[in-house]
Amino acid sequence: MKLIFLGTGAGIPSKERNVSAILLDLLQERGTTWLFDCGEATQHQILRTTIKPRKIENIFITHLHGDHIYGLPGFLSSRSFQDGTTPVTIYGPKGIEAFVKTSLEVSETHLRYPLYFKEVDDGIIFADNDFVVYAKKLQHGIPSYGYRIEQKDQPGELLIDKLQAMGISPGPIYQHIKENEMTSLPNGEVIHRNDVLGPNKSGNIISILGDTRYDKSFIEFIKNSDVLVHEATFAKDGKDLAHDYFHTTTEQAAQLANQAQVKHLLLTHISSRYAGDKSEQLQVEAATIFPDVQIAYDFFEYEIRKA
């Protein structure tokens, strides 16, 4: 499981940073990937990676400002030409369905796959056997949401030594035992999975917030996340600007991460005023409050593992 940042800039694209888009790679966990926001030229960014558009099954839109959605119609259209035939579901605030459908209808674009929409509100917006996704409304100029992705606990590792002591040699039978509650052996013996598995492995928690002001009320929503992705449009001396434009500073994002006891903080949505070496200033400011922090950049990949 990893995050791939396809766009890390704020507002408009720059030579260093494209506008917002983040991919959550779940190929090992479920054979698919999820996309969070889809700013202009996201599909161009994808061309520079190994990402396969046909593998994207869910798209989560934080809010409807152009730097987060203008790449969506083009991406959806191109997916049809790249062997995309499986369904896609788009989650987002009210208006996302109208935006996408109008764009596709006016351009007479016909998709080869089913497209579904789910308007989000606070609470659970997605759940299956492996993951639960929660949404929470943030503080921005228009409705903006954060998403908390919780992976359900995973079965522990097979106790190989115990199986071998029982006379069960390695082979396909091991996988069968792990995937089934009970397994009957050729000699009639029945193996109960829980007897030969180690403790469950706790799932990962990833929180990805859209554009927002700093607000302590978000602490509970992101609490104990293995990784928090948060905007840092301004340096700490831009606190007034951040408030006026409904954004967050490096210092504020670090404070929130610290208060919520997250394990790692990734800062994105960086203003073009911090081009080049100036981004190092943002790293230093945040690290003085929350040491486990990185400034994301385009094509940056972060592997999500339990400590």
Closest to 13 in 3D by CA, of 299, 301, 298, 302: 298
Rounded to whole angstroms, what are the CA distances from 75 to 40, 82, 197?
9, 10, 43
What CA–CA distance (Å, rounded) separates 176 from 84? 32
What CA–CA distance (Å, rounded) separates 135 from 147? 5
Closest to 205 in 3D by CA, of 24, 31, 58, 27: 24
**Residues recognised as catalytic:** 67
Token duo for residue 255: 């404070």
* Contact criterion met (CB below 8 Å) for 74 and 39: no
What CA–CA distance (Å, rounded) separates 110 from 113? 9
In the sheet with 301-303, reading across from the earlier edge strand, the strands are 115-119, 88-92, 56-60, 32-36, 21-26, 2-7, 301-303
* Contact criterion met (CB below 8 Å) for 144 and 138: yes
Within 13 A of 133's CA, how many CA atoms are on the CB side? 20
What CA–CA distance (Å, rounded) separates 133 from 151? 9
* Single-letter amino acid code for the residue at 9: G
Closest to 215 in 3D by CA, of 149, 150, 136, 281: 136
